[in-house]
Amino acid sequence: MSNFSIISSILDNDFYKFTMQNAVIKLFPSAKAKYEFINRGKHSFPKNFVQILKENLNKMAYLKLSNEERIYLEKYCPYLDSSYLDFLNKYQYNPKEVSIYQKGKNIKMNIEGLWSRTILWEVPLMAIISELYYKLTGSKRISDKKIIILTKEKLKKYKNLQVKIGEYGTRRRYSYQVHKLILEILMEEGSSFFMGSSNVHLSHIFSIKPIGTQGHEWIMFHAAKYGFNIADRIAMENWLNIYSGNLGIALSDTYTSSVFFKNFNKKLSDFFQGIRHDSGDPIFFVQEAIKHYKKFQINPIKKKIIFSDNLNPCKVAYISSFCKNKINPCFGIGTNFTNDVGVPSMNIVIKMVRAIPEKKWISVVKLSNVKEKSTGKKNMIFLAKKILHL
């Protein structure tokens, strides 16, 4: 067990971690961040889980960007400039940034340090926790053959719906092996409608462009630095300044979509190719987005909505039929691809909880469009809602 490494490449991570890391280095090089593991599903972890988790963590310190991986990034992600790739070349995980301990059947975990460094931990850590959990609890999955049949059935449905889909399933995958198998099937069966994977390492293996833009922590940090009211707007403006129109999908639900749309002014609505929906009623969101674009005389059919909230073929069919001839939907499918293997999928997250934008630690919160997805200290959530009149 102990000589087995779950994460074998520094690129086995979601693409948006690298795009955000690049932006952080350029704009907030001295900012610090603290993240916390949240066991939403109240999973019981077996004895000595943390010990084996730490062994995997310590091995990550030896990962380095290979020459071949750098060449891949230069070719497929031209907006990551050479100064950033030089940084990534020298980057190594530092396990001292992560503290973990086990209390009975629960685990506590914090990550703390420079934001530009600690930003890469979240996704691989979750993938490790997920894979180890199934290994150590002896969860038996369905066979590869069944996974192939099941995935092909889903892809047939997506093909019939004539929708564009991407794979977003790194963080809660059953295992690396299942994840890779899913991508093989997607590459074979979905070539006409498969947009790509958010996993950079697997995208490299299959020679495709990774997909993704930014995560909630980008906007949460801006709220700590500039205030809740204008966090969305400044976060988007900063993004535009770094990527000048590339990676132009804006995340819409850090402080609820209604607050986002107030910040999404004409200039930003023009420049960004679309928006990502990650919580709340998708149909209501589509209606609000269309109304918003029309207000600025922007034709919604020229814009995209990327849906990424707990999707499956049934949900995709429902959303895409509503969007037809109104706006362009795309679908980022996560756990339903990489962990639909006959065991319950894990409900775990790792979220930024505090940041130092200037001199002192400030609690950060995410409000989301649904209460269950909100994170942060209760008093800070209360304050944010008060300031935003929610």
pLDDT at 372: 85
Q: Which CATH superfamily is domain 144-338 in?
A: nicotinate phosphoribosyltransferase (3.20.140.10)
- The pairing of beta strand 274-277 with beta strand 249-251: parallel
What would the DSSP string read from start to end of 324-362? TTTSEEEEEE-HHHHT-SSSPPP--EEEEEEEESSSS-E
Please write the tens of the pLDDT for every residue from 65-91.
999 999 999 999 999 999 999 999 999
Chain centroid to CA 383:
26
Q: To which H or E segment does residue 353 belong? A: strand 349-356
What average pLDDT does the segment 230-241 reach? 98
What region does 232 belong to: left with phi over 0, alpha with psi -120 to 50, or beta?
alpha
pLDDT surpasses 90 at 1: no
Instruction: For residue 3, name the pLDDT band (cuts at 50, 70, 90).
Output: low
Average pLDDT, the chain: 96
Q: Are 293 and 269 in contact (CB under 8 A)?
A: yes
3-state secondary structure of 369: coil
What average pLDDT does the segment 358-376 reach? 93
pTM over 0.85: yes
What average pLDDT does the segment 334-339 reach? 97
Please write the tens of the pLDDT for every residue from 147-172.
999 999 999 999 999 999 999 999 99
Residue 249, strand partner residues: 274
Give the whole-angstrom CA distance, residue 29 versus residue 261.
Answer: 29
pLDDT at 191: 85
What average pLDDT does the segment 16-23 reach? 98
Domain boundaries, the chain: 15-139+346-387, 144-338
Please write the tens of the pLDDT for every residue from 184-199.
999 999 889 999 999 9
Instruction: For residue 224, name the pLDDT band (cuts at 50, 70, 90).
Output: very high
Q: Which of 153-167, 307-321, 366-380 has the lowest mean pLDDT?
A: 366-380
| Residue 78 token pair | 């031209």
Q: Which CATH superfamily is domain 15-139+346-387 in?
A: nicotinate phosphoribosyltransferase (3.20.140.10)
Share of the chain above pLDDT 70, in %: 99
